[in-house]
Structure 1
Amino acid sequence: MTTTLTARWAVLDIEGTLTATSQVHVVLYDYARPRLGPWIEEHPGDPEVTAAVTQVRHVARLPESASTEEVVEVLHGWMDEDRKAAPLKTLQGLIWQRGYASGELITEFFPDVAPAVRAWRGAGVRLAVFSSGSVAGQVASFSRTTDGDVTSLFEAHFDTVNAGPKREKSSYRAIASVLDVPSAEVVFFSDVPAELDAAAADGWQTVGLARDGEPYGDADFGAHAKIRSFGEVAVVPL
């Protein structure tokens, strides 16, 4: 049975929703880990890189004279903790961007993803992404997927830098403001109940992805609609 939702915008999480968690925690993390140090060393004049390194030193309370090796040690620790630290996400995103451009990285979507989002977009629903991964990383990952380049399907990208933490109501208020629609006209898809709670607190429609084998596959989604595949839901425009 297919549930039909009506919305102007569908906003989608990535990890555990569009892709397997292992796509990030294994494939992407393993790609970025050995490249963090060399990337910092090779881009001493890049303001985005230097700003990220300065943030790492500040958050970790390292001295300004801390070496690249000390900075990388902090970054690796954050990766081990799966910490959603903005400077880490920035550096990872830049590294992944190059990986996708070179063809070394390819995003593998769940098989139900591309047909669904293409159908929703074709019907007139506008699409956006809200992920803890940087906007640069999001766009790069969508440029080379097992279903081709899907960047043109998505009109807006949000991360924890330009929107805020994913488990806070204020972040969803900020996104709805940028999208310029009432919160009730946005539907958010995520595999994390706490993120859905925050979106619902701002008046968004919410749908939980309980995918088999994923960390939140057996989670309690409470009052949120719950599906195991995008094949179980249709989104049509207002």
Structure 2
Amino acid sequence: MAPMSNPTVRAIVTDIEGTTTDINFVHKVLFPYAHAKLPDFLRENAEAPAVAEQIQAVRDVMQDADASLEAVIATLLHWIDTDQKVTPLKALQGMVWADGYQRGNFTGHLYADVAPALRQWQAAGVALYVYSSGSVQAQKLLFGYSDEGDLTPLFSGYFDTHIGHKREAVAYQRIVEALDLPAESILFLSDVVEELDAAKQAGMQTLQLVREGTQAGTAHACVESFADIAL
């Protein structure tokens, strides 16, 4: 595909799964690790304030204020198994993954074209942001312990499901407000057409990453690599 070029872009907001990172890393490394480690992590740390806050948030979602810790654990494992985008789950997964990254059990996967492009764009004065259904903590861990080292200094900010659902335009409207830039000067990168649709409704520019296994849509310009995006 021909390189995409648009000199009006002042900020780029990028998705992670299927965009910067192979979905298999999330589903075959991170999710199984959290599934295996989360039960004991909660049993050992349930009284810690940050953990207790998320356990209570799980009970709120369950609509069962008296749910036992074991019931909370069972619910969390079910959410992992069914890939639910539930905010307290994402927060707790982030805590478990932090330990895994710090122990060197894995590094954050990035496609080879991602880090060079991010460095080039940031050096050119384009502000970089992440918007993922994974928690901000998990995002910072992935880029902080990435295959290419610590890339967190490249980013100006991070957004997760606290800002809104990734397939709803209101979330992108809130991001536009947070960035305090004209919507049309913000480029959103994702592999998911429904997310791109929502960003476009909010006035953003959009670009679909068509990685291996991704089905190209027709409503948005497509590229196969970050190297194809010339700013």
| Superposition TM-score tier, normalisation by shorter sequence | over 0.9
Deviation string 1:214-234 (CA, Å, 9 cap, x unpaired) is xxx1242x2211111111111
Deviation string 1:177-219 (CA, Å, 9 cap, x unpaired) is 1111111110000000000000000100000011113xxx124
Matched residues in 2 for 1:46 and 1:189: separation? 37
Q: Tell me the residue number matched to 2:157.
A: 156
Deviation string 1:29-83 (CA, Å, 9 cap, x unpaired) is 011112111221222333331121112222223351x332221111111112111
Does residue 61 of the first structure (1) align with residue 63 of the second (2)?
A: yes
Matched residues in 2 for 1:187 and 1:121: separation? 14
- Paired residue total: 229
Deviates more, 1:40-49 or 1:16-25: 40-49
Matched residues in 1 for 2:89 and 2:210: separation? 28
Matched residues in 2 for 1:68 and 1:105: separation? 28
Is 1:16–1:191's contact at 8 Å kept on the other side of the alignment?
yes
Matched residues in 1 for 2:178 and 2:45: separation? 32
Query: What pairs up with 1:98-137 in 2 under 5 angstroms?
Result: 98-137=99-138
Q: Tell me the residue number matched to 1:234.
A: 230
Which secondary structure state, in structure 2, belongs to the residue aligned with residue 58 of structure 1?
A: helix
Does residue 218 of the first structure (1) align with residue 215 of the second (2)?
A: yes
Which secondary structure state, in structure 2, belongs to the residue aligned with residue 10 of structure 1?
A: strand
Q: Tell me the residue number matched to 2:176.
A: 176
Deviates more, 1:100-109 or 1:191-200: 100-109
Deviation string 1:81-129 (CA, Å, 9 cap, x unpaired) is 1110011001001111222122212012111111111111111111000
Q: Which amino acid aligns with 1:45?
A: E
Structure 1: runs of 5+ lacking an equivalent: none
Which secondary structure state, in structure 2, belongs to the residue aligned with residue 19 of structure 1?
A: coil
RMSD of the TM alignment (CA)? 1.3
Structure 2: runs of 5+ lacking an equivalent: none
Aligned-residue sequence identity (percent) comes to 43
Matched residues in 2 for 1:229 and 1:110: separation? 9
Relative to the length of structure 2, the TM-score reads: 0.95
Which secondary structure state, in structure 1, belongs to the residue aligned with residue 165 of structure 2?
A: coil
Relative to the length of structure 1, the TM-score reads: 0.92
Does residue 22 of the first structure (1) align with residue 24 of the second (2)?
A: yes
Is 1:196–1:208's contact at 8 Å kept on the other side of the alignment?
yes
Does residue 81 of the first structure (1) align with residue 82 of the second (2)?
A: yes
Deviates more, 1:46-55 or 1:195-204: 46-55
Matched residues in 2 for 1:24 and 1:164: separation? 21
Q: 1:9 aligns with which of 11, 17, 21?
A: 11
